[in-house]
Amino acid sequence: MSFFMEVLLGGLLAGVMYSLVAIGFVLIYKASGVFNFAQGSMVLFAALTFVSLLERGLPFWLAFVLSLLSMLLLALLLERLVLRHLVNRPPITLFMATLGLSYVVEGVAQALWALLALAFGLLPFIGNDYWFSAILIPFLVLSLAGLGLNLLTGYAGQLSLGSAAFMAVGAFASYKLQFLLPGLPLLLSFVAGGVVAAAVGVVFGLPSLRIKGFYLLVSTLAAQFFVEWLLTKFAWFSNGNESGVITAPPLLVAGHDFGSPAGRYLLTLSVVLPLFVLAGNLVRSSLGRNWMAVRDMDTAAAVIGIPILRTKLLAFAISSFILGVAGSLWAFTYLGTVEPHGFDLSRSFQVLFIIILGGMGSILGNFLGAAFIVLLPIVLSILSGSLLSGVLPAGQLENLQKIIFGVLIILFLIKEPDGLARLWQGWRARARLWPLRF
């Protein structure tokens, strides 16, 4: 009897899997008329990715989601690199192409999964703790903060010097809510911190309805000083700590501890990337166009029916939400312990530099700008340790850094107002063309 059950279950399981694969087949066939011969190797690819991730100690569900994501990425890549170039070709060509693909995918599945899973799967295992703690995590969090400010300033055209204030609100709200609502899941507390920051952002964004440009800067500056003062003055926000210091709770998600440097990196990445995807969708949607319209010419925007008030306030809300989440990550996954002064005006400036260097109105630019801001001090200190040792007194390093930043900001504003993102695009366009020059 037990043998029968075993066979029955095994058979059912196999059947379920075959039918899933078959559904994939039919879906592609019905939608595009292509008989996808690479289906089998894609199944293999997914399985290999999943098992490899499991073997490296990832929890089941995380490995599962990551495998799905990597398949999605693979499919997008195939579409971009291969299928797109075959549009409108006869079906037989497509069929042969999928046959060819099946060999490629199968042959390099082992190597490819490692490449694709680079960000998620590989880096945590090859990188050392210094990389995560001092480079990758702050890079991701600052990219996210840059994204928040970029939506408001780069896309909707509203200047702000209050970025750090909204980060602080997010961090302290996440922290406080963890105590007020025991058992609140960690990820949810990040979202809740973002929501509180969004509400505060809307309040400080209200003046934007009447004032513009530099006068608006003053209002956001008020937010910056007010929030810092409030969080330092009232110990309630930090659960009674006299100097307002908060310490992150254990980083548990669904029972799994993400407290190690690699874990904190993964946790940060899995919060930051989805937010980037959502923001990318938004700026290409009608809200994103409304933001840019208000930025470029608000009278014309009003005349074509864009609700100026709503559009601006949404920019403040969504921007502050993202900054709030970035603040929570800064406190929880990057520093672990933070005080209100960690979110002072110079932090706001740092975020502003990210978008000036990276590029206003660019999603990619936030990564480029953040990478620059994080790497420059490190590169400088390495340089001064080796090349310039003895030449440069230790205390001068910080000054040198300031000078370089200042000069770069000015250079960029003059020479390349669209930032690194534009340089990158130009470089890519040239790279695409270069074989044709011969």
The stretch near another protein (CB under 8 A) out of 6-14, 92-100, 301-309, 383-391 is 301-309
Give yes or no for residue 304 binding another protein (CB under 8 A). Answer: yes
Answer for the pair 170, 275: CB distance below 8 angstroms, yes or no: no
Which residues are CB-neighbours of 237 under 8 A, at least 6 positions away? 172, 176, 230, 231, 244
Structure-derived torsion over alpha carbons of residues 185, 190, 195, 196, reported in degrees to the nearest 10: 100
- Distance CA(279)–CA(275), nearest Å, equals 6
Instruction: Using the minimum distance from each CB to another protein, give the nearer residue, 149 or 318.
Output: 318
Closest separation in Å from C-beta 74 to another protein: 20
Q: Indicate whether 286 belongs to the interface with another protein (CB under 8 A).
A: yes
Does 314 sit near another protein (CB under 8 A)? yes
422 binds another protein (CB under 8 A): no
Which one, 303 or 433, has the nearer CB to another protein? Answer: 303
Q: Give me the least distance between CB of 196 and another protein, in Å please.
A: 18
Q: Which residues contact 70 (CB under 8 A, 6 or more apart)?
A: 46, 49, 113, 116, 117, 120
Residue 281 in contact with another protein, rule: CB under 8 A: yes
Of 107, 307, 385, 406, which lies in the binding site for another protein, with binding defined by CB under 8 A? 307
Smallest separation, CB 298 to another protein (Å) = 10
Among 16, 17, 300, 413, binds another protein (CB under 8 A): 300
**DSSP bridge partners of 256:** 253
Closest CA to 107 of 40, 39, 41, 43: 41
385: three-class secondary structure by DSSP: helix
Start-end of H helices in 38-136:
39-55, 60-81, 91-116, 123-126, 129-130
Percentages of the chain per state (helix, strand, coil), in multiples of 5:
80, 0, 20
Residue among 43, 119, 282, 408 that touches another protein (CB under 8 A): 282
- Does residue number 296 form part of the binding site for another protein (CB under 8 A)? yes
Give the residue, chosen from 7, 77, 278, 379, that forms a contact with another protein under the rule CB under 8 A.
278
Among 90, 182, 250, 305, binds another protein (CB under 8 A): 305
C-alpha distances (whole Å) from 32 to each of 84, 91, 94, 404 are 12, 9, 10, 54
With H, G, I as helix, E, B as strand and everything else as coil, classify residue 285: coil
The reply on whether position 148 binds another protein by CB under 8 A is no
Contact pick of 295, 323, 350, 354 for another protein (by CB under 8 A): 295
* Site residues, another protein (CB under 8 A): 278-279, 281-282, 285-287, 289-290, 292-293, 295-297, 299-307, 314, 318, 361
